[in-house]
Amino acid sequence: MTDGGVAVVTGAGSGLGRVVAQALLGAGYGVALAGRRKDALDETAAGHPEALVAPTDVADTASVAALFGAVRERWGRVDLLFNNAGTFGPAGTLDEIDPDAWSAAVATNLTGSFLCAREAFTAMRAQDPQGGRIINNGSISAHTPRPGSAAYTATKHAITGLTKSISLDGRPFRIACGQIDIGNAATDMTAGIATGARQADGSVRPEPTFDAEHVAQAVLYMAGLPLEANVQFLTITATTMPFIGRG
């Protein structure tokens, strides 16, 4: 057994998922790294013997079941899920969004989070000692949209409802669930924001970013609480990003 417990991180091959997974590994967790690309997961795992590389399609029920089966086979339990995998999805006004692209975004961002939470919940309810923690990556878009982001924004608003339902339904089984909403953390995926992001008035302006390591530290804090305590919602942003009074 690992010092810090057993964690599953989705979207662990890049961006925030990689930063958080490596922070958990550094804190003594055994970490299952889930994502589509094995080569990217291998890069995240480099130098960490307590990492389990598990290529996974979070939108596929069988693939998610195989992920959690591998975790239980190696460690025997699941203490933490960081539900992080996501896609920005199609951009444009509603009439410009292809329905298939909409469905793909929902499948990854919402259904994928549900499927992973479902497997984690099942393991946490059955294991001894019982319980665990699920942390969902919401986003500032769980509160306020950017222009032309209906698919992403709708799925992230839905994550808030999923978080609340898991938190409520998990009470009898010592399963805590919280949500971290992140705005403008500096990663490869968000590099364009620093050079120019579309604003509500139609202009394109650069926005401030902040070091993604602060996100990792916030997740470590949430994860490190005893199950009797829970951070229900945590919002972390670049201080002067256009969110409060966005646009």
14 belongs to a structural domain = yes
Question: What mean pLDDT comes out for the span 208-235?
Answer: 96
Q: Cα–Cα distances in Å, from 29 out to 56, 184, 197, 224?
A: 20, 27, 36, 11
244 belongs to a structural domain = no
**Whether 59 contacts 112, CB under 8 Å:** yes
Q: Are strands 204-205 and 197-198 parallel, antiparallel or unpaired?
A: antiparallel
Q: Is the pTM of this model over 0.75?
A: yes
97 belongs to a structural domain = yes
210 belongs to a structural domain = yes
Domain that holds residue 166: 6-237
Q: How far apart are CA 219 and CA 225, in angstroms?
A: 10
Question: What local confidence, expressed as pLDDT, does residue 145 receive?
Answer: 87
Q: How far apart are CA 88 and CA 79, in angstroms?
A: 28
149 belongs to a structural domain = yes
Per-residue pLDDT band for 13 (boundaries 50, 70, 90) equals very high
Per-residue pLDDT band for 1 (boundaries 50, 70, 90) equals very low
Domain count within the chain: 1
163 belongs to a structural domain = yes
In DSSP terms, 137 is beta-bridged to: 180
**Whether 197 contacts 246, CB under 8 Å:** no
Provide the annotated active-site residues. 152
75 belongs to a structural domain = yes
Segment 18-33, tens digit of pLDDT: 999 999 999 999 999 9
Question: What local confidence, expressed as pLDDT, does residue 184 receive?
Answer: 82
105 burial class (0-12, 13-18, 19+ CB within 10 angstroms)?
Answer: buried
CATH number for the domain that contains residue 29: 3.40.50.720
Segment 57-103, tens digit of pLDDT: 999 999 999 999 999 999 999 999 999 999 999 999 999 999 999 99
175 belongs to a structural domain = yes
**Whether 163 contacts 179, CB under 8 Å:** yes
